Structure 1
Amino acid sequence: MVYLSSIYTKSGDAGDTGLGDGTRVPKDHPRVAAYGDVDEMNAVLGLAVLHAPGDAELLRSVQNDLFDVGADLCVPGTDPAALRVTAGQAERLERAIDAVNERLQPLRSFVLPGGSAAAAWLHLARTVCRRAERAVVALAHAEPVNPQAVIYLNRLSDLLFVLARAANADGTADVLWVPGANRA
């Protein structure tokens, strides 16, 4: 269990921060950027939950998983005692994707972000998730990263896409891309 007795420590006032293994790195280190993007993704999901109450239980479970992803990313190396994302977490998302997607009409065009408020927030969450995924992939080019963290984020962006489409299926149709619609 996590116990925080003080919220401010002043230890980061010089522009560095502590990783989960105790090492100190600059706050703009790729590892910090990666788990920072995951944290931002989690905050956007918190807003999405407000507009998609029917998906709240699933989205809250994802938020919990995103703390696992952040915990995984903040501990470099292969410490077996560290919390690591597992294949089972991504597989749970795959089952949810399949369940939601089977009730949707097949796509005939790319979908523009928007439609209902819930869909718009879910699309925003999807794009922030993709940015977090890119940050984790960039980190993996420089340092070892649990590949399951990348897989989880990739599946999550897919889940958010189908949830956004489902949010528009309640009478507010997907907004479809019309190639070249505004060319003169």
Structure 2
Amino acid sequence: MGHRLSKIVTRTGDQGSTGLATGDRIPKFDARMQAIGETDELNSVIGVLLTHALPEAVRSTLSRAQHTLFNLGGELSMPGTVFVKEDDIVRLEEAVEALNESLPPLKEFVLPGGNPPAAACHVARAVTRRVERRLWELNEREPLNPFTPRYANRLSDYLFVAARTLARLDGGQEVTWNKQA
């Protein structure tokens, strides 16, 4: 494989525009660039989450999610390209169901926290929701691959269930909302 980024400092964005993989230039504040940036942020947050000790099932699902998010970013930088598939969503749904089987039913809202990995997972979930909102916003203007925003929705579902699971590591517990607090 050749060098993808042989020159890092190009100065081509110094006037407020940036280049897509197609060669087109768009403003850095464009909804498409916002979606690309927020997807990159999400991938980074998941990378931080992966630095924690995690059960192997969670680790492998999150590692795969990072690759899918990179594919999602590729779709955004090359309009008309499709990388995210229905199978990606199905795998997440199966992972949600597998983790959720061992969890007790929810009786109260869950607050972010519990322990460092659960808290990091909640941060990733919140960033995922922002990515999803941005994808739907962009989709209103320029129709996207229909699986792309759905993938973000399923990923946030997965991260919520994973956070509940991670809060229970080493005898811990999740933090629930107390309306009297």
The TM-score with structure 2 as length reference comes to 0.93
Partner residue of 2:74? 71
CA positional deviation for 1:144: 1.7
Equivalent-residue separation in structure 2 for 1:140 and 1:83 (angstroms): 14
CA shift, 1:19, in A, is 1.3
- Structure 2: gaps spanning 5 or more residues: none
Asked if structure 2 preserves the Cα contact closer than 8 Å seen for 1:72 and 1:84, the reply is yes
Shift >3 Å, 4+ stretches: none
**SS of corresponding position for 2:11:** coil
> Match of 1:34, as an amino acid?
A
C-alpha RMSD of matched pairs (Å): 1.3
In the other structure, the counterpart of 2:141 is: 142
CA contact (8 A) 1:18 1:25 kept: yes
> What's the counterpart of residue 44 of structure 2?
43
- The two structures have a TM-score, normalised by structure 1, of 0.91
2:50 is paired with a residue whose SS is helix
Once the two structures are superposed, residues 53-107 of structure 1 have per-residue CA deviations (whole angstroms, 9 ceiling, x without a partner) of: 323222111111100111111122x3xxx34211111111111111111011111
Structure 2 match to 1:176: 176
User: Match of 2:89, SS?
Assistant: helix
**What per-residue deviation string (whole Å, max 9, x for no partner) do you get for residues 86-129 of structure 1?**
11111111111111110111111110000011000000000000
Distance in structure 2 (CA, Å) of the matches to 1:43 and 1:62: 11
Residues 152-171 of structure 1 mapped to structure 2, 5 A cutoff: 152-170=151-169, 171=171
Task: Report if the CA contact (8 A) 2:34-2:134 is conserved.
Answer: yes
